C-alpha cells in the first residue's frame, strides 16, 4: 500500500536496500552471495537487507542456481516481485484513449480503448477516464490498496512538475487543466502526468532501442509531430515542459496552412498525417476527381493506396517523408543524438518510407560531412505509451536512479 510520508535523511541502510532492489531488477535472478560480491558488503549484512525486502513484498525467493563444479550447495535465487503492486496507465490521444492495468514492471494485464471525443471538452473526457479506471480496478478483483499510482501521457504542452496540461492544440478546451490535482482527488492515488512523446521516450529508454543509449530523440508522427529527448541519460523537459516541440518549429514562412498552435508554416503543417490527407484530397480534386469516396478518405485508406501504387498517393507520401527528413535533420543539428527513433503512423508506410526519410536527412544535414545517421522505427508497438506511463509511475514511486530515494511516497506491506 502507498502511504504519504515526510522526507527524512537518507540512511546507509536505505541506500543499500535500494541498490539491492536495483540489482535484482536488472539481473532478473541473483543469489545473496552474488549481491554481496556485487555491492562489496558482507553476506550477513546483505541477508539482513534482503530479509526486509522479502518482508515488504518487493523481493521473493524463486528457484535455485546450478550446483558448483565441486558439487557445492545450490544457492537460492532472488527475483523482484512484480506483483507486489499494480499500476494504472492512461494515454490521452486525439482520437483514442488507452487505459491499462499493469504489474510493477509494465507488463500489461488488461487494456481497454475508448474514443476520446475531444469535442466534449476536458471535463467530460476526464470523467470518462476516471469512470473506466474505476471499472478496470473493479473488474480486476485487485484491492485498491494494491495500486501504487496512475501514470498519464497527455498530448500538448505538459508541465510534469505541476501535472498541468498547459495547452493541447489538438484537444478542444485543454488550456491550463490541473490534471494531476483533479485525478488525485477523483482516484485517491498518486498521479504523474507527462507529455505523450516524453512518455514514449521513457519507454524506449527502459524497454526499447535506447536501453543502453545516453543521447537519443524519439519522434512521434501522426496528427501532430512531437519529440521526446534524452541528453546524457536525462529526459529534457525545459521550463514548464515546452522543450522539444519540434513540430512547431517554423519551417515555411510562406506557408498557407494554419497550425492548431495558431502559427503558420509549422513543421506539423508539412508532415503530419492531417496535412498528408489534405494534400492528397486536393490533388485528386485537381485532376477532376470530386467523388464522395475521395471526400471520405481516411488515413487508413492512404496506407492501402500507397501499397497499391496510386501515383498521387505515392508522390504525396514521398513528399511527406522528405519533410519529415527535414525535421529530423533539424533535430540532429540541435541535439546530436546517437539514435533517432520514429514512432506512430509513419511506421505503417514501411521500410521504403524510412529509406526516403534517411535520404532527405543525408541531403539536409551537413552534406559535406557525409555522415551516416542512425534512424530507426520503434519496435515496441502501439502500446509503447502505456508501457512508458506505467514505468513513469514506478520511477517516481520506487526511485532507484542515482541513489536518489523517493521519500514522499512509501510502499508498505499491509
- Give the CATH number, domain containing residue 281: 3.30.420.40
Chain centroid to Cα 108, Å, comes to 14
Share of the chain above pLDDT 90, in %: 54
Helix (H, G, I), strand (E, B) or coil at 108: strand
Residue 376 has pLDDT above 80, yes or no: yes
Based on the fold, state whether residues 125 and 47 are members of the same structural domain.
no
Split at pLDDT 50, 70, 90, the class of 165 is very high
pLDDT of residue 255: 73
Based on the fold, state whether residues 327 and 265 are members of the same structural domain.
yes
Residues 173-182 have a mean pLDDT of 95
Based on the fold, state whether residues 307 and 260 are members of the same structural domain.
yes
Residues 328-341 have a mean pLDDT of 94
- Segment 220-238, tens digit of pLDDT: 999 888 999 999 999 998 8
Based on the fold, state whether residues 246 and 116 are members of the same structural domain.
no
Chain centroid to Cα 133, Å, comes to 19
Pairing of strands 339-344, 216-221: parallel
- Segment 259-275, tens digit of pLDDT: 777 788 788 888 889 99
pLDDT of residue 409: 36
Report how many domains make up the chain.
3
Kindly give, in sequence order, each residue whose CB lies less than 8 Å from that of residue 37, ignoring residues fewer than 6 positions away.
Answer: none
How many residues are present in the chain?
Answer: 414
Distance CA 281, CA 135 (A): 41
> What CATH number is associated with residue 38?
1.10.10.10
264: cell is 503558420
Domain boundary among 20, 53, 80: 80
Pairing of strands 375-377, 339-344: parallel
Based on the fold, state whether residues 388 and 372 are members of the same structural domain.
no
DSSP states of 310-326: -HHHHHHHHHHHHHHHH
Based on the fold, state whether residues 342 and 269 are members of the same structural domain.
yes
Based on the fold, state whether residues 98 and 192 are members of the same structural domain.
yes
Q: Up-side HSE of residue 61: CA atoms within 13 Å toward CB?
A: 11
- Average of per-residue pLDDT values in the chain: 87
Domain boundary among 54, 80, 106: 80
pLDDT of residue 413: 38
Split at pLDDT 50, 70, 90, the class of 342 is very high
Based on the fold, state whether residues 170 and 245 are members of the same structural domain.
no
Based on the fold, state whether residues 90 and 187 are members of the same structural domain.
yes
Based on the fold, state whether residues 242 and 368 are members of the same structural domain.
yes
- Segment 67-116, tens digit of pLDDT: 655 556 788 899 999 898 999 999 999 889 999 999 999 999 999 999 99
Residue 121 has pLDDT above 50, yes or no: yes
**Pair 79, 65: CB distance under 8 Å:** no
- Segment 183-228, tens digit of pLDDT: 999 999 999 999 999 999 999 999 999 999 999 999 999 988 899 9
Alpha-carbon distances, residue 243 vs 162, 175, 389 (angstroms): 16, 18, 19
Based on the fold, state whether residues 25 and 99 are members of the same structural domain.
no
Kindly give, in sequence order, each residue whose CB lies less than 8 Å from that of residue 6, ignoring residues fewer than 6 positions away.
Answer: 407
Based on the fold, state whether residues 398 and 336 are members of the same structural domain.
no
Structural domain containing residue 152: 86-202+384-411
Quickly tell me which residue has 560480491 as its cell. 37
Alpha-carbon distances, residue 340 vs 45, 102, 119, 215 (angstroms): 44, 28, 33, 9
pLDDT of residue 292: 63
How many distinct helices (H) and strands (E) make up the chain? 13, 18
| Listed residue (69, 145, 331) closest to 221, CA to CA | 331
Domain boundary among 80, 110, 137: 80
Amino acid at each position: 500500500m502507498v502511504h504519504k510520508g515526510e522526507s527524512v535523511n537518507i540512511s546507509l541502510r536505505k541506500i543499500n536496500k535500494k541498490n539491492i532492489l536495483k540489482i535484482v531488477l536488472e539481473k532478473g535472478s541473483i543469489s545473496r552471495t552474488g549481491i554481496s560480491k556485487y555491492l562489496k558488503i558482507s553476506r550477513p549484512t546483505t541477508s539482513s537487507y534482503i530479509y526486509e525486502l522479502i518482508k515488504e513484498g518487493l523481493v521473493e525467493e524463486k528457484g535455485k542456481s546450478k550446483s558448483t563444479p565441486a558439487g557445492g550447495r545450490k544457492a537460492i535465487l532472488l527475483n523482484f516481485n512484480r506483483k507486489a503492486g499494480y499500476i494504472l496507465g492512461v494515454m490521452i490521444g486525439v482520437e483514442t484513449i488507452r487505459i491499462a492495468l499493469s504489474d510493477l514492471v509494465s507488463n500489461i494485464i488488461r487494456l481497454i480503448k475508448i474514443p476520446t471525443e475531444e469535442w466534449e471538452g476536458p471535463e467530460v473526457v476526464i470523467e470518462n477516464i476516471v469512470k473506466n479506471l474505476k471499472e478496470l480496478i473493479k473488474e480486476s478483483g485487485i484491492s485498491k490498496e494494491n495500486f501504487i499510482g496512475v501514470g498519464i501521457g497527455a498530448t500538448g504542452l505538459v508541465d510534469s512538475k505541476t501535472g498541468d496540461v498547459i495547452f493541447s492544440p489538438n484537444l478542444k478546451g485543454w488550456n491550463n487543466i490541473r490534471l494531476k490535482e483533479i485525478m488525485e482527488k477523483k482516484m485517491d492515488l498518486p498521479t504523474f502526468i507527462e507529455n505523450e512523446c516524453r512518455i514514449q521516450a521513457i519507454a524506449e529508454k527502459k524497454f526499447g532501442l535506447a536501453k543502453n543509449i545516453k543521447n537519443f530523440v524519439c519522434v512521434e508522427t501522426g496528427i501532430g509531430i512531437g519529440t521526446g529527448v534524452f541528453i546524457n541519460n536525462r529526459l529534457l523537459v525545459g521550463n514548464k515542459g515546452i522543450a522539444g516541440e519540434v513540430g512547431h518549429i517554423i519551417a515555411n514562412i510562406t506557408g498557407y496552412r494554419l497550425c492548431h498552435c495558431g502559427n503558420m508554416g509549422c513543421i506539423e503543417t508539412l508532415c503530419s498525417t492531417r496535412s498528408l490527407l489534405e494534400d492528397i484530397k486536393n490533388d485528386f480534386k485537381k485532376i477532376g476527381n470530386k467523388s464522395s469516396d475521395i471526400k471520405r478518405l481516411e488515413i487508413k485508406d492512404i496506407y492501402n493506396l500507397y501499397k497499391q501504387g496510386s501515383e498521387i498517393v505515392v508522390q504525396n507520401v514521398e513528399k511527406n517523408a522528405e519533410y519529415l527528413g527535414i525535421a529530423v535533420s533539424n533535430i540532429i543539428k540541435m541535439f546530436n543524438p546517437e539514435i533517432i527513433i520514429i514512432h506512430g503512423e509513419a511506421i505503417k508506410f514501411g521500410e521504403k518510407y524510412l529509406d526516403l526519410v534517411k535520404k532527405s536527412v543525408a541531403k539536409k544535414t551537413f552534406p559535406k560531412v557525409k555522415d551516416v545517421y542512425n534512424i530507426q522505427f520503434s519496435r515496441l508497438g502501439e502500446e509503447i505509451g502505456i508501457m512508458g506511463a506505467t514505468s513513469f509511475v514506478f520511477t517516481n514511486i520506487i526511485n532507484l536512479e542515482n541513489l536518489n530515494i523517493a521519500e514522499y511516497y512509501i510502499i508498505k506491506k499491509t
